[in-house]
Amino acid sequence: MAEVHWFPSVAQVPERWWDDDAAVPIDRRRRFRRFRDVVEGEHTFVLSVGSPGDPVITCGHVSSPASGLFSDPWKLWSSDQFLRLDGVAPDEAAAITAHRDALLARLTGGDAGVVAGGAGVLHERLGGALVVRGLDSSEVLHAGGAPASSTEAATTLRELQRRASDSDLGVAFPYVDRADAGLLAALSETGFGLGSVTATNIFDLPPRDSFDDLLGPLPGRVRYRFRKEWKDFHAQGLTLEELGMEEHVHDVVALETGNRVKHGGTADQQRLIGVRLAMARLLGGNLRVKGVRDDRGELIACSIDLVDADRHLGMVFGQHETRSSELVYPTLVYAWPLRQAVAAGATQVRMGFEAFAPKTLRGSRLERRVFAFWHPRPAVRAAAGELLSLLDERLSRGVLDGARTTESAGRHWSFAGAKA
């Protein structure tokens, strides 16, 4: 019989159980999971199943009204963003929204008030969910970073369901990699509803000696865009530089906070300072903090990325509300990381979720993630399953049809598809 252990944080898991080898991708290492502990605070959990010599370890948090959009199924499901209504005729858009609203009401037993109250009312009526997520995927892994088998994953899922049933909580795996066959089989076996709500953006990079060599075989319009943006950026007197997090943390957080507020979010600056310093402490040499200065030497934008042996992972962007330039974002977030990745011999740059148009325009492919959900109440499971089907259809029709994805070449070019 498998040993089962619950811990309130990664720091409480015996370190000897966790193989943090440098060959393991940074987002699967213990150091990254400890950073996620800091981000989620007191709501984190760690489940260990199996022998202490080689346990399967699952990390997550309990969603709450304070959770971020991509950490909270209720917020994600009730956001109009994921209905993908751009370009949809008004009558059809109204019908799609009404269908979504009816399913949200069914989650709480037919309460129409949930539509106006959105995620807040869902939290009041349904509580939270045990959310399993890493950087841009939801995983059940051995401590050494290898995926669990379908049998091992099913054992873990049943333990999560048992704990969720005790507290009337949901269980959510929002970003399961479609290549993780063992986990997907286990999710189906244990009664989870499956659908896709979002996709992650991935730039696949063939080996090249320089960024210009990478651009060489691409369509002329693509070469022109990259070269013009780079030239115009520097012509404005803007400069790029690497920053030390400890030295510049207050500037970085101020820019990050400004960007969040600009897009309708909120931010606790003091808490963010603590989170960013913990990021520097725990992620160390895998962390890259980059800045843009204007012609007066003022820091006007920043980004935070993670780097490991063959991948570059975009995480955070911030910019000054009025002094930044429209050239800053594409240069700092796309062009510079791609140039650095090519120089380092990296094979992949991952740019997170959403913002699909500017990323596919510059060569990313979209990799659909599977959202898996389970709830102890059958009626909630049924409504959630229909809601996931609707959001899956909207993602396909509103985003993925015609885009370059894992399943289809689509109509977009790619770095990897260009012949040297």
Residue range 107-115: mean pLDDT, rounded: 72
Return the HEC string of the chain. CCCEEEECCHHHCCHHHCCCCCCCCHHHCHHHHHHHHHHHHHHEEEEEECCCCCCEEEEEEECCCCCCHHHCHHHHHHCHHHHCCCCCCHHHHHHHHHHHHHHHHHHCCCCCHHHHHHHHHHHHHHCCEEEECCCCCCCCEECCCCECCHHHHHHHHHHHHHHHHHHCCEEEEEEEECCCHHHHHHHHHCCCEEECCCEEEEEECCCCCCHHHHHCCCCHHHHHHHHHHHHHHHHCCCEEEEECHHHHHHHHHHHHHHHHHHCCCCCCHHHHHHHHHHHHHHHHHHEEEEEEECCCCCEEEEEEEEECCCEEEEEEEEECCCCCCCCHHHHHHHHHHHHHHHHHCCCEEEEEECCHHHHHHCCCEEEEEEEEEECCCHHHHHHHHHHHHHHHHHHHHHHHCCCCECCCCCCCCCCCCCCC
At residue 371, the pLDDT reads: 97
307 and 190 assigned to the same domain = no
pLDDT at 289 over 70: yes
Question: How confident is residue 361, by pLDDT bands cut at 50, 70 and 90?
Answer: confident
Mean pLDDT of 14-23: 76
Segment 329-358, tens digit of pLDDT? 889 988 888 999 999 888 888 888 888 888
- 312, 340 Cβ separation under 8 angstroms: yes
What is the per-residue pLDDT for 120?
82
Q: What is the mean pLDDT of residues 153-173?
A: 96
Structural domain includes residue 231: yes
What is the per-residue pLDDT for 261?
63
89: exposed, middle or buried (Cβ count in 10 Å: 0-12, 13-18, 19+):
exposed
Same domain, 97 and 186: yes
* Residue 329 or residue 186, greater confidence: 186
Least confident of 20-24, 235-239, 369-373: 20-24
Domain range holding 258? Answer: 207-346
Query: In total, how many domains does the chain have?
Result: 2
Residue 20 has pLDDT above 70, yes or no: no
Chain segment 242-282, per-residue pLDDT in tens: 999 999 999 999 998 877 766 666 678 898 999 999 999 99
Which range is most confident: 75-79, 185-189, 322-326? Answer: 185-189
- 211 and 317 in a single domain? The answer is yes
Q: How confident is the model at residue 156 (pLDDT cuts 50, 70, 90)?
A: very high
What is the model's pLDDT at position 217? 84
Residue 411 has pLDDT above 70, yes or no: no
Residue 163 pLDDT: 96
What is the pLDDT, as a whole number, of residue 199?
93
Query: What is the structure's pLDDT at 40?
Result: 84
193 lies in the same domain as 216:
no
- The verdict on 147 and 243 lying in the same domain is no
Same-domain pairing of 22 and 149: yes
Q: What is the pTM of this model?
A: 0.91
Do residue 45 and residue 155 come from a single domain?
yes
Question: Given a cut of 70, is residue 73 above it in pLDDT?
Answer: yes
Calculate what percentage of the chain has a pLDDT beyond 90: 49
Q: Percent of the chain beyond pLDDT 70?
A: 91
Mean pLDDT, rounded, of the chain: 87
- What is the CATH number for 22? 3.40.630.30
**Domain stops at, among 346, 375, 392:** 346
Q: Do 79 and 186 have their domain in common?
A: yes
Q: Are residues 277 and 374 in the same domain?
A: no
Instruction: Tell whether 61 is covered by a domain.
Output: yes
* pLDDT above 70: residue 402: no
* 114 and 245, same domain (yes or no): no
pLDDT at 52: 77
> Does the structure show a pLDDT above 60 at 419?
no
Q: Are residue 282 and residue 342 in the same domain, yes or no?
A: yes
Quick one: 272 and 378 in the same domain?
no
Of residues 59 and 308, the one with the higher pLDDT is 59
Write down the pLDDT at residue 218.
82
pLDDT surpasses 70 at 111: no
**Could you tell me which residue, 19 or 339, shows the higher pLDDT?**
339
Question: What is the pLDDT, as a whole number, of residue 263?
Answer: 61
Q: Which of 287, 315, 346 is the last residue of a domain?
A: 346
Q: What is the mean pLDDT of residues 17-36?
A: 82
93 lies in some domain: yes
